[in-house]
Amino acid sequence: MKSSRRLAREFALQGLYQWQLSANALEDIERHLAEAGGFARADHELFTTLLRGAAAEAAQLTAEFAPLLDRAAEDLSPIERSILLIAAFELKHQPQTPYRVVLNEAIELAKAYGATDGHKYVNGVLDRLAAKLRPELAGTERSQRER
């Protein structure tokens, strides 16, 4: 069974995807998702924080990861872009969530919902973004992995 936090990220991904494609109001998207099966088991606070935060800061977050892309941010699939927005928001504003957890959760979302090798792309971008947004943590964890 998926954790409440994993479910929150999945619903936030669905919400950001809908928001990008439909430009519907976040409140309408939240209401629609709240009726979906499994939503009751999601961490509602995390879901709301990720969806609203990533949408509100989409331009700034995109500016953070755009230099790390091999294409224009607009050329990303809506799934990849949504995953990167969620993870960038978490890296920037949720310091209580460990760097590796943010990356692993994003990779799992990309495996489940993205293109065949999308998770590898997301991993590469986020690994470099984490080093940029959390240099003290990324450097520490990298040096521990290299031992």
What distance in Å separates the CA atoms of residue 6 and residue 106, rounded to the nearest whole number?
10
Burial of 8 (0-12, 13-18, 19+ CB in 10 A): buried
Amino acid at residue number 116: T
User: What confidence score (pLDDT) does residue 146 get?
Assistant: 42
Task: Give CATH superfamily name and number for 4-146.
Answer: NusB-like (1.10.940.10)
Domain ranges in the chain are: 4-146
User: What confidence score (pLDDT) does residue 147 get?
Assistant: 39
User: What confidence score (pLDDT) does residue 137 get?
Assistant: 60
pLDDT per residue rounded down to tens, the chain (147 residues): 789 999 999 999 999 999 999 989 999 999 999 999 999 999 999 999 999 999 999 999 999 999 999 999 999 999 999 999 999 999 999 999 998 999 999 999 999 998 888 899 999 999 999 999 988 764 544 444 443
DSSP structure string for 77-111: -HHHHHHHHHHHHHHHH-TTS-HHHHHHHHHHHHH
Tell me if 58 sits within 8 A of 85, measured CB to CB.
Answer: yes
What distance in Å separates the CA atoms of residue 144 and residue 147, rounded to the nearest whole number?
5
Tell me if 87 sits within 8 A of 51, measured CB to CB.
Answer: no
